[in-house]
Amino acid sequence: MSLIKDIEIIELGDVEKEDSSPWSSTVVLIRMVTSDGFVGYGEAPTTMMTRGVYEQAKEVARVFKGKEVEEVRKNCLEVYKHSFYLPVSMETSSALSAFEIASWDIIGKIHSMPAYEAFGGRCRDSIRAYANGWYSNCVTPADFLKKARTAVKMGFTALKFDPFGDAFDYIDERRMAIAVEIVGTLKEALPKVDLLIECHGRFSANSAIRAEKKLREFRPMFMEEPVHPDQFEGLLRFRSMSRTAVALGERVLDSSLFLNYLKNDAVDIIQPDVTNVGGMIQARNSAELAAAFGVEVAYHNAFGPIQTATTLNLDYAIPNFLIQESFEAFWPRWKKDLVASGYSLEKGFLRLDKGRPGLGIKINERVLEKQKISLMEPFNPDAPGWTVGGTFVHGR
């Protein structure tokens, strides 16, 4: 038996240097060690809740410690039993996800197989990526175009971006016109590149409907979270009037919670996040549920390299994969160096190193030690933490 013997909860970060994704300037990692010496890593997201996730990881550790590492479902159900607010507590689902991911990292190492082999093996050999985080400090159409050209030169054939400046809930005609100009400029200059419009759940249904009508002529691959996440009826109204595909799911914290979106035809592409939906089993279950409705999957992936490696293992295994989010090229140096090896990003495609067990990654212990912190994430009163740095700008 491989019992979970030791658990270390680690916060890493650099709260001053994360323009590409300020929401992930900190990450919480789990280092799990078994009684027979196997080591596994997991990752939890921290958006405006770093210390909350860290403390909740201590609660989850009390359940996992001493348990058989291969009894993943049983261990997760035990957390479900004790946690009164799971699966609607982001802190708990995030912490649990990290433990579940670390378990699969160890299981793969025990059996000398990549984690994706435990989920049915590979359906594909490479993963098409879309760039995100590339447009930090972009305000004007010219700003966006300059950085978009750089991303395309890297090999990306799809770009996601938020063109809406500091609009929130309501978007006036001036800000709408700027957004249309930004998207139109990119479409005209880069006609073969897929454009993915990020809304960050910032709009009321009425504003989202207006935005989609203005942007549909540019044929975006999808609009992501077009409506505030608590306005389900508004989302249905948006769907009834939209010609653009809807993507959402990063705030859905359990695979079963996708059912309402799918049965009501509210979504075309689901975006579960393996680090907050409950881990690899829940993320895979989400994909299987979507497949029953003919819906594709584009996993959300906006935090750190352990998340990326975990997500790639699922991308390899699910049949209804569409495209994969990638911030890797625009990360700060410490995040790029945290994983010494395990996967690569080349010419717009992500690949796991072949045959490596577990998640397939090797952690750079030097970077791990250097980046340890014990801080809340930075707070900017002038821009929400979920926006790419320098883009939530007034008076453009």
**Residues designated catalytic:** 200, 300
Tell me if 273 sits within 8 A of 45, measured CB to CB.
yes
Asked if residues 312 and 284 have their Cβ atoms less than 8 Å apart, the reply is: no
How buried is residue 222: exposed, middle or buried, by Cβ count under 10 Å (0-12/13-18/19+)?
buried
Asked, as a colleague might, if the bond just before 191 is cis with ω within 30 of 0, I would say no
Of 340, 336, 342, 337, nearest in space to 356 by CA: 342
Give the C-alpha separation, 330 to 129, whole Å. Answer: 13
Tell me, what amino acid is at 362? K
Task: Extract the tokens encoding 363.
Answer: 């952690």
72 three-state secondary structure: helix
Which one-letter amino acid corresponds to residue 242? S
Could you check whether the bond before residue 220 is cis, i.e. omega within 30 degrees of 0?
A: no
CA distance 396 to 394: 6
Amino acid occupying residue 120: G
Whether residue 275 contacts residue 24, with contact meaning beta carbons closer than 8 Å, is answered with no
Cα Rg of the chain (Å, integer): 20
Rounded to whole angstroms, what are the CA distances from 144 to 119, 188, 215?
A: 39, 13, 16
